[in-house]
Amino acid sequence: MPVCLVGDAAYPLQPWLMKPYTGHLNLSRQAFNARLTRAHIVVEGAFRCLKARFRCLLTRLNLSEHNIPPMVAACCVLHNLSERKGEAFLPAWTAEAERMAGQYAQARTATIR
C-alpha cells in the first residue's frame, strides 16, 4: 500500500489522502471509518507529543518550504531517540504546549488543489 495521509471529512479527496466515508454507510464503511478515526487519534497524539518536546513546531517556521520536511523529520528522529533512551517526557510539557499553541494565530493558507 502506498504512503497516505489521514484527513478528516473536510479535506478534498485525493489519491494520497484517506478520509472517512460520509452519508449512509454500510457495515464495511462504518468499520473503515472507525479504524480511520483510531488512526487519526494516534496521529494527533504523536503530533501533540512532538510539539510538546520541540516548541519550535508551535510557531511559524521561518524556513523555506524545501527545508521544512527535513526539519520536522529531524524532530521525529530526535523524539524517537529520546523515547528509546528513556529520556523523560513530562505530561506538563503537553499541557504547556497546548496553552502556548492557543497564543499563536493559525496562518492564513490557501486550499491546495
Q: Where are the domains of the chain?
A: 5-101
Cα–Cα–Cα angle for 32, 38, 39, rounded to 5 degrees: 90
Helices (H) and strands (E) in the chain, counts: 3, 2
| C-alpha–C-alpha distance, residues 43 and 6, integer Å | 8
Which pTM does this prediction carry?
A: 0.70
Instruction: Report the run of H or E that residue 36 belongs to, with start and end.
Output: helix 27-53
pLDDT digits over 80-99, tens only?
A: 999 999 998 888 888 888 88
Dihedral angle computed from the Cα positions of residues 6, 11, 12 and 17, in that order, rounded to the nearest 10 degrees: -10
pLDDT digits over 37-93, tens only?
A: 999 999 998 888 898 899 888 888 889 999 999 999 999 999 999 999 999 888 888
